[in-house]
């Protein structure tokens, strides 16, 4: 999921366009991009879209961001969108493990009511100071949690932190990545709002990639290709990973725990990283 294209839930004319884009995932939004008077309408449009055969058959990851816990729409959103095509529910402003568990309870109810057998996962947004400080607890909250997504715009603006300062961005990215590691879930980068700043988008995406993030949210189709490029392993990375895996088989057969490839010491963490790189490459080319 190198790229995730954001689509307002009230803009149904964009749904199929997003589905046909080069994004690995699409994220249909029922929260901030939809004004209050159109919430129910947007929910119905998204629900209809999620029932379409071509959406269910798509190899894209289909995500819906619901309205937050505490709003009048939270449970109604989850009950409605639990349809055949849905892969993940994106929860905004998660601040505790209980936020996740409450959503899971509603999700399980929705699956039973709608006759869905596929287990829908959860992507939790970390976009408040409380959420970031509780991120490790959130990451270990429930087996259905697939990953954490960093929302720097909400997090930084609410605290008057400079959103463009690379040191600030790195600190927040690192903190959430460590929390995601605690729960063995993926870390996902949030939106970069200046659509015209292509250099800035790529620089932020590159920072996230170097910190082990899975991909980046895209708020415009023009951001999808650079996101896919940044979060795809390089040819050199792939070649090295393949050599590591080949040598690891030989080492295992010989009963050797540590070995070298290209003069570098190789142990289990590096073998695991090589497996991740090769698996990611195969997903892209399958």
| Per-residue pLDDT in tens (0 to 9) along the chain, 286 residues | 999 999 999 999 999 999 999 999 999 999 999 999 999 999 999 999 999 999 999 999 999 999 999 999 999 999 999 999 999 999 999 999 999 999 999 999 999 999 988 999 999 999 999 999 999 999 999 999 999 999 999 999 999 999 999 999 999 999 999 999 999 999 999 999 999 999 999 999 999 999 999 999 999 999 999 999 999 987 888 888 898 898 888 888 988 888 989 888 888 888 988 887 887 776 665 5
pLDDT for res 283: 63
CA-wise closest residue to 193 among 170, 217, 171: 217
For residue 148, report the phi and psi dihedrals to the nearest 5 degrees. Answer: -115, 140
Calculate the CA dihedral of residues 93, 99, 101, 105 and round it to 10 degrees: -90
Supply the pTM of this predicted model: 0.88
pLDDT for res 237: 84
Contact status, residue 41 vs residue 35, Cβ threshold 8 Å: no
CA-wise closest residue to 63 among 43, 89, 40, 36: 89
pLDDT for res 284: 61
- Distance in angstroms (rounded) separating the CA atoms of residues 8 and 150: 19
Domain with CATH 3.20.20.60 in the chain: 3-230
- Distance in angstroms (rounded) separating the CA atoms of residues 100 and 121: 11
Contact status, residue 101 vs residue 88, Cβ threshold 8 Å: no
Q: How many CB atoms within 10 Å of residue 10?
A: 20
The CATH code belonging to domain 3-230 is 3.20.20.60
């Amino acid at each position: 999921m190198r790229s995730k294209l954001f689509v307002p839930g009230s803009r149904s004319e964009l749904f199929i366009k997003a589905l046909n884009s080069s994004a690995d995932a699409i994220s249909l939004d029922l929260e901030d991009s939809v004004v209050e008077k159109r919430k129910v309408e947007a929910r119905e449009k998204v629900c209809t879209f999620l029932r379409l055969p071509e959406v269910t058959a798509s190899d894209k990851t289909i995500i819906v961001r619901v309205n937050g816990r505490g709003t009048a729409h939270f449970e109604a959103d989850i009950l409605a969108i639990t349809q055949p095509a849905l892969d993940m529910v994106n929860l905004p402003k998660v601040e505790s493990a209980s936020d996740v568990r409450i959503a899971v309870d509603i999700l399980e109810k929705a699956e039973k009511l709608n006759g869905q057998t596929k287990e829908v996962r959860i992507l939790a947004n970390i976009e408040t100071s409380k959420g970031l400080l509780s991120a490790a607890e959130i990451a270990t909250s429930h087996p259905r949690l697939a990953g954490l997504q960093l929302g720097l715009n909400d997090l930084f603006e609410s605290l008057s932190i400079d959103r463009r300062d690379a040191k600030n961005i790195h600190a927040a990215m690192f903190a959430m990545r460590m929390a995601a590691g605690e729960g063995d879930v993926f870390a996902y980068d949030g939106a970069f709002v200046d659509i015209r700043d292509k250099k800035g988008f790529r620089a932020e995406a590159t920072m996230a990639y170097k910190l082990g993030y899975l991909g980046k949210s895209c708020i415009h189709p023009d951001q999808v290709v650079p996101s896919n490029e940044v979060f795809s392993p390089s040819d050199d990375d792939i070649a090295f990973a393949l050599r590591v895996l080949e040598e690891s088989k030989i080492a295992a057969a010989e009963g050797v725990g540590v070995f070298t490839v290209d003069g570098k010491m190789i142990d289990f963490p590096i073998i695991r990283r090589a497996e991740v790189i090769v698996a990611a490459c195969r997903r892209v080319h399958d």
